[in-house]
Chain A
Amino acid sequence: MRVILDVKGVSKGFGGVQALRDVDLEVRAGEILGIVGPNGSGKTTLFNLISGVYRPDTGRIIFDGVDVTSLPPFRRTVLGIGRTFQIPRPFKRVTVMENVAIGAMFGSSSVGVEEGFRVAEGYLKVFGLWDKRDRDAESLTPVERRLMEVARALAGRPKLLLLDEVMAGMPPGELDGFLSILREVKVREGIAVVAMVEHIMRAVKDLAERVVVLHQGRKLVEGPTREVFMDKRVLEVYLGRT
């Protein structure tokens, strides 16, 4: 399968903390890849490097054949990288509908205002937020905010979607619904999804075809989901902590 994202040997330090050391990552078009690892293992930092919030100290990031290592975030979004934030960052005093429409207007689809609202309507209905469309985003619950961020990112028609712990706090009943929506949208839009669902192992096992395990800023193991969760080193990292 075609490689949509090729991360080559990236490192990133913050003062004394080395958040990532020489990490390689390949994401193939249309797959669902899970990234797991204990707290502070560098998952969010990896997303920040891919989406352009930070620049890596070393290494390169190739997206869909383009070297995006030094491109600003908005250029990467237009090329087709969409993401959510671990701590949701909705445009707070903007309605839910407008939040998602903004995602459509400026994403890789770059549509006009009317079309943006039409696209937003579709995703709000898919994620069960249609009834709250005219509320300010700050009135949403944490789980709803995460759903809205997923809708906002998807509305931009990304080729690669980075989900940073969007399933945290989701009641088990809703989780299944969310997972099946995600799978369906992925197939329909042909996007690659990289999800980190660290704390909900069931979701990773259910969703991801392949898993990468990060540990202290390094890639520990990578492989098909079943095999990774049987790996001794992974069990040590996880069971050793919990």
Chain B
Amino acid sequence: MRQYIPFLPVVAIYGTLFLTGLLLEGMWQPMALLAFYGALGQVFNIFLGLTGYVDFGYVAFLAIGSYGMAIAASSLYEDLGWWIVPTGFVLAFIMASFLSIAVGAIALRLKGAYFAIATIGVSEGLRYLIEGTGLWGGSMGIIVSRPLREAFGREGANSLSTFWADSILYGIALVAAFITLMILKSRAGYAFLAMREDEEAARVMGIDTTRYKLLAFFISASLGGLIGASAWTLKMNYVFPSDVFDIVYTIEAIIIVLLGGSGTLLGPLVGGLVYGALKYWLAVTFPGLQLLLFAPLILVIIVAFPQGIIGILRERMGSAFRGVIL
């Protein structure tokens, strides 16, 4: 039982966000935005945080997942009815995991910067492939509002978009956090720890580093596919390649993980909260200027505190408490 204790603060924070959104007038959307950033960070952390490798093409997995849901919804709604949503999640998961295995098997053999460049190439390449060949509606994308209305009725489709799509993100964030905790506590967690410090020495100590990297990449990517399916297709009811392949989401994911504390359990959650709140606050207080202020501010924070918020807390607490905050 004791090993699950670090999970309690995670449940408490997401629970508080969820209830605040539910109970306070006008707070659902702001809380849902925080949950989105939390989920994005939590899921991306499983790869970046555990392996130390930066995937600049990560958004491709969200994108492919959003297509998975859109394909299921637009082509199967007549046969499946409301089952298109679970089917869509399964398809999103499968498509994202296949992409991750294909990309990972090749790109994960590359080191550091080469890996980063290769992954950008894959993401941009996939987008041009879709736009250029007209695959899945090409640059016109897929619009799923009608299929969803037919399957769920007007009311149902509306609550799917304004309530369920957001709620599912809380669920994905919790699942991702739980998986992170399980990994950190297992042999795999120590394999990642060793690998981040010195990959060659880790291999000499008996660790199959490529296998562990692929494992983290796979988990992170397939959960990312679920985020895409929910946050894009179900929430917006459309999928346009120019939106879902936007590199901004990759950059936000990187910032959230670094800000909160890479490779920690609570880091991406705290990072997501701080990032989301700061972005929201700047947009309200300095409308129009937010990006101008935001980018340098974030950069300064990350350069000044590379271990992130949770990393600093853990250092301050000393080794005896390291097990408490993960």
Contact = CB atoms under 8 A, between A and B. Distances in A.
B197 A91 contact: yes
Nearest to A93: B197
A220 interface: no
B205 A72 contact: no
A216 interface: no
Nearest to A152: B205
Contact size class for A? Answer: 20 to 34
Interface string B185-214: 111001101100110111111111100000
Contacts, number: 77
A51 B193 contact: no
Given A77-B204, A77-B205, A83-B204, A98 B190 contact: yes
A152 B186 CA distance: 19
A105 B186 CA distance: 10
Interface string B158-196: 000000000000000000000000000111001101100
A85 B201 CA distance: 9
Contacts of B186: 113
Q: Interface range on chain B: under 10, 10 to 19, 20 to 34, or 35 or more? A: 20 to 34
A106 interface: yes
A191 interface: no
Contacts of A75: 208
Contact of B197 (A83, A85, A94): A94
A158 B185 CA distance: 25
Interface in A61-108: 72-75, 77-78, 83, 85, 89, 91-95, 98, 101-103, 105-108
A113 B190 contact: yes
A53 B204 contact: yes
B201 A106 contact: no
A156 interface: yes
B285 interface: no
A102 B193 contact: yes
Contacts of A103: 205-206
Contacts of B209: 74
Contacts of A98: 190, 193
B97 to A, nearest CB: 25
Given A74-B209, A134-B319, A102 B203 contact: no
A113 B203 contact: no
A193 B164 CA distance: 63
Nearest to B186: A113
A207 to B, nearest CB: 23
A112 interface: yes
A107 to B, nearest CB: 5
Contacts of B191: 102, 105-106
Nearest to B318: A134
Contacts of B206: 74, 77-78, 103, 106-108, 110, 156
B194 A74 contact: no
A129 to B, nearest CB: 15
A61 to B, nearest CB: 15
The 3 closest A-B pairs by CB, nearest first: A106-B206, A77-B206, A91-B197
Given A91-B201, A102-B207, A105-B190, 19 more contacts: A53-B204, A74-B204, A74-B208, A93-B197, A94-B193, A94-B194, A98-B190, A101-B190, A102-B190, A102-B191, A103-B205, A106-B194, A106-B206, A112-B187, A113-B185, A113-B186, A113-B187, A113-B190, A116-B187
Interface of B: 185-187, 190-191, 193-194, 197-198, 200-209, 319-320
